């Protein structure tokens, strides 16, 4: 039985990590096999690449280098974690995936979108999310949250506001162009309100899924799992 691949996307300070953690905990509590992971990172090699990407010492990094390093970490992540998880029947929840590269390296940095998309094909080997959740927020609001929070500020957070505006616009364009693949959620509200919308979208995705929570299967008496 194939699992499902759910990705959280969004600009800085949109609350992705909070929502991804919460969703993973909720699904796990209902008996669903869950794997929570993030990009860049999620593997030993990927975490080392992450350190290079986010270090304040990488200020002179070229946009092309940046795009290739994110893709390099992703290739390892797909092979070691994401694809095995989905093939193993798990609900794989990932904080950022290939659309982050389109939004940041093409939208934000200005690399040609077709080139960035081409690199993703190599990195993902064709693995695509079953659901993309865009936590949408104006750039200024997200940056204000990020800089006022205790969490660390990284190299990309320090990019100019216009960069983050381009990132957001790119995300909104991607979501508008493929509405069946995306759910856009207003992240400017309370975490509880955002979580309600996330749950609704995920429950809709999992409705027809045969690997339903063990508790539900027991209740309905249809405990067979493929
Ligand atoms: P992180 O601290 O995980 O930030 P966030 O909580 O916003 O996800 O740092 C990841 C940074 O890397 C973030 O600024 C977005 C950026 N990024 C890209 O530019 N391209 C990518 O493909 C990915 C996955 C992330």
Alpha helices in the chain (DSSP H): 16-29, 44-54, 63-77, 83-87, 98-101, 113-124, 139-148, 161-177, 191-206, 214-220
Atom of ligand 1 nearest to the CA of 13: 7
SS (H, E, C) 56-76: HHHCCCCHHHHHHHHHHHHHH
Say how many Å lie between the CA of residue 62 and the centre of ligand 1.
Answer: 16
- How far apart CA 71 and CA 81 sit, in angstroms, is 15
Residues 6+ apart with CB under 8 A from 167: 11, 103, 104, 107, 108, 139
- How far apart CA 210 and CA 224 sit, in angstroms, is 9
Q: Mind listing the pLDDT tens digit for each residue in 127-184? A: 999 999 999 999 889 888 888 876 678 887 778 899 999 999 999 999 999 999 999 9
pLDDT of residue 225: 36
Q: Mind listing the pLDDT tens digit for each residue in 90-110? A: 999 999 999 999 999 999 999
Three-point CA angle 39, 172, 13, nearest 5°: 50
Question: Poorest-confidence range of 9-13, 63-67, 109-113, 172-176?
Answer: 9-13
pLDDT of residue 150: 67
Say how many Å lie between the CA of residue 154 and the centre of ligand 1.
Answer: 9
Q: Is the CB of 171 under 6 A from ligand 1?
A: no
How many residues belong to the chain? 226
Say how many Å lie between the CA of residue 101 and the centre of ligand 1.
Answer: 9
Which residue bears the tokens 């290079």? 52
Choose one of 17, 21, 40 to mutate for the ligand 1 pocket test, by most ligand atoms within 8 angstroms of C-beta. Answer: 40
Residues 6+ apart with CB under 8 A from 51: none
Say how many Å lie between the CA of residue 28 and the centre of ligand 1.
Answer: 25
Q: Is the CB of 146 under 6 A from ligand 1?
A: no
Q: What are phi and psi of 208, to 5 degrees?
A: -90, 10
pLDDT of residue 177: 97
Q: Is the CB of 120 under 6 A from ligand 1?
A: no
Residue pair 203/209 in contact by the 8 Å Cβ criterion: no
Q: Mind listing the pLDDT tens digit for each residue in 182-209? A: 999 999 999 999 999 999 999 999 998 8
Phi-psi region of 136 (alpha: psi -120 to 50; beta: other; left: phi over 0): beta
pLDDT bucket at 220, cuts 50 / 70 / 90: very low
| pTM of the model as a whole | 0.91
């Amino acid at each position: 039985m194939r699992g499902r691949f759910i990705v959280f996307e969004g600009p800085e300070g949109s609350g992705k990590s909070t929502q991804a953690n919460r969703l993973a905990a909720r699904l796990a509590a209902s008996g669903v096999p869950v794997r929570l992971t993030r990009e860049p990172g999620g593997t030993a090699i990927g975490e080392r690449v992450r350190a290079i990407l986010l270090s304040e010492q990488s200020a002179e990094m070229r946009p092309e280098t940046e795009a290739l390093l994110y893709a390099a970490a992703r290739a390892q992540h797909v092979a070691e974690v994401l694809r095995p998880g989905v093939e193993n029947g798990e609900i794989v929840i990932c904080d950022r995936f290939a659309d982050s590269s389109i939004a940041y390296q093409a939208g934000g940095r200005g690399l040609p979108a077709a080139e960035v998309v081409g690199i993703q094909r190599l990195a993902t080997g064709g693995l695509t999310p079953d659901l993309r959740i865009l936590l949408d927020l104006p750039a200024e609001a997200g940056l204000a949250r990020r800089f006022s929070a205790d969490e660390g500020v990284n190299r990309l957070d320090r990019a100019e506001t216009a960069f983050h505006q381009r990132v957001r616009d790119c995300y909104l364009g991607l979501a508008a162009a493929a509405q069946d693949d995306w759910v856009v959620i207003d992240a400017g509200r309370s975490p509880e309100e955002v979580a309600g919308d996330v749950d609704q979208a995920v429950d809709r995705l999992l409705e027809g899924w045969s690997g339903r929570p063990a508790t539900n299967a027991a209740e309905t008496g249809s405990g067979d799992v493929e």
